[in-house]
Structure 1
Amino acid sequence: MLYKRGKTWWISFTTPNGQRIRQSAGTTEKIQAEELHDSLKAQSWRQAKLGDRPEYLWDDAGVRWIEEKGHKASLHDDIQRLSWLQTYLRGKKLREITREAVMEIVSTKQKETTAATANRYLALIRAILRICVEWGWLESAPQLRQYKEPAGRVSWLTEEQAQRLLEELPDHLKDMAEFTLATGLRRRNVMDLEWSQIDMSKKLAWIHPDQAKSRKAIGVPLGSVAIAVLHRRLGQNLKYVFTYDGHPVTDVTTKAWYKALSRAGVQPGFRWHDLRHTWASWHAQRGTPLHVLQELGGWSSSVMVQRYAHLSTEHLSGFVENVSPHAVRGRDTNLSQWQNEERKKLT
């Protein structure tokens, strides 16, 4: 049955299984609405009588992914990526999403950004298509190969560079950046930080398990710089520590951030997350043991901390003189004395 709501045609019918289907045809043309009605009705008959697999769209998969992955610490990133992908995959049937189609989409992102960023989008598409197979929505998922990523360097700022950047940032971003440099907290943890998570008297903050990437609570000792930032934020909002115009900050990589990077002379491509790398690099350079750094940063694996190992070389300094000219000469002298003594024994 077809009927109108305003100028738009709507479809209504009952499937052979007794399910009531009622949806918009998305058109003001009756002929187009009739075609869609007949197609949907025929499809439901084939599914009920012949066992055909229902047709699911990328949109359906995205919605279910978000619903089922609500526990993911990085779900916010998934939602941002899904939003970008909607431009290319909205209304697309899952079986029509081929390897060629995916690689064409992701190549656009690779040209805009980097291979590493493109791989994050590719990984999300691959994960969703694979779980669609588990759900029974798709017979098989295409094989998707990620871009080869060059061995990346850890991006970090010197103290002078960091100070220049802080001077160029607007006040709310300056406080957030300075707090990040003092604590190493991830962007989302800083943006969502509440006063209830801070004990000023004990100079301690904490991240709840459901807020941490490792899903383990993190205790955050607060140094003098972090405490000074918190004192500046007092009285601006009863719930959230960092706000802008009285509202929680929802994004930090804004035009103001990029303009500040440019004015401060910071290398292109520097990300907010690199403030965390900067914090860790400073710790490593000043002798903080890597196992302590791992705990401070809330990393679940020591593998992630090893990227800073080359900046911590105190344990090697006692060996560098082993190849100095003085050390070599001393060894040569000892060798000569031993050789002379051995010759005397033979004569």
Structure 2
Amino acid sequence: MFLPGESIELRRSSELFLEKLREWGWIDKAPAIRRLKVDDKRIRWITKAERLYQELPPHLEAMARLSLATGMREANVTGLEWSQIDMQRKVAWIHPDQAKAKKAIGVPLNVEAITVIRQQMGKHSTHVFSFKGIPVKKAGGATWKKALKRAGIDNFRWHDLRHTWASWHVQNGTPLNILQELGGWNTYEMILRYAHLAPEHLAGYAANISDNAGHIFGHTKMEDTKKAVSSTR
């Protein structure tokens, strides 16, 4: 079974290949490829009030905090090395062979991320995150699941921390094209699943025709439209 992002990439590659076959005269018409339905029910996020941090052991708490601060995937957090971090520039980078899209990713480090990373200094010579002197290989295992149970959070994977990070960004006004760069998604289509989380940013555009519609029925004046738009900001 393919993940949503993988199915999108496979479909696009197949469409390009079939189009080339048509151009070369090998086929008369490129057949349409059915779009696979993405299960948006799996796009979950946690609220800031939930007690996840309090239930996690210190090393997993730190890793979860970094994931929520940067959107980094589990493998990129567990495999993060000191050589990948520039504290002066406040940036980390994911090498192409570590990235899902096989492209290097620059990860800007906000205040929360910098705080977490500084707290790990001196614990291991090469890896940022370790437990009892050994680099952590997996974060979302049995200990993670037990912590979720104690916190009363159901059906939540480590990868859902990335969904939470993306959701918070959209809810706080980060444009989707910027979010795509921050998260290292290969296609814009892959982040459209988050667009519905902040419909209020469309209010200004919706007001563009309010005067036209109101004028027809004699209900709305331009001043009322401006007041309505300003109240949403």
- Name the TM-score, length of structure 1 as normaliser: 0.50
Partner Cα distance (1:305, 1:186) in 2: 15
Equivalent position SS for 2:188: coil
Is 1:156 matched up with 2:45? yes
Structure 1: 5+ residue runs without aligned partners? 1-118, 124-147, 336-347
Aligned residues of 1:287 and 1:314 also touching (Cα < 8 A): no
Aligned residues of 1:193 and 1:240 also touching (Cα < 8 A): yes
Point out 4+ residue stretches in structure 1 off by more than 4 angstroms.
319-324, 327-331
Structure 2: 5+ residue runs without aligned partners? 7-35, 221-233
Q: 1:206 and 1:150, CA in 2 relative to 1: closer, same or farther beyond 3 A?
A: closer
Equivalent position SS for 1:303: helix
Partner Cα distance (1:195, 1:314) in 2: 40
Q: CA deviation at 1:321?
A: 6.5
Aligned to 1:295: 181
Q: Which amino acid aligns with 2:84?
A: Q
Q: Which amino acid aligns with 1:256?
A: T
Partner Cα distance (1:221, 1:265) in 2: 32
Q: CA deviation at 1:249?
A: 0.7
* Larger relative contact order, structure 1 or 2 (CA cutoff 8 Å, min sep 6): 2
Q: CA deviation at 1:328?
A: 7.7
Which of 48, 71, 80 pairs up with 1:184?
A: 71
Partner Cα distance (2:148, 2:207) in 1: 41
Q: Which amino acid aligns with 2:131?
A: Y
Aligned residues of 1:203 and 1:223 also touching (Cα < 8 A): yes
Q: CA deviation at 1:315?
A: 3.5
Partner Cα distance (1:150, 1:279) in 2: 19
Aligned residues of 1:322 and 1:328 also touching (Cα < 8 A): no
Equivalent position SS for 1:159: coil
Aligned to 1:129: none
Is 1:206 matched up with 2:93? yes
Q: Which sits farther off after the overlay, 150-159 or 189-198?
A: 150-159
Is 1:286 matched up with 2:175? no
Q: Which amino acid aligns with 1:152?
A: D
- Superposition map of 1:86-125 within 5 A: 119=1
Aligned to 1:253: 140
Q: CA deviation at 1:333?
A: 3.2
Q: 1:150 and 1:207, CA in 2 relative to 1: closer, same or farther beyond 3 A?
A: closer
**How much identity, in percent, do the aligned residues show?**
52
- Name the TM-score, length of structure 2 as normaliser: 0.73
Q: CA RMSD for the aligned pairs? A: 2.8
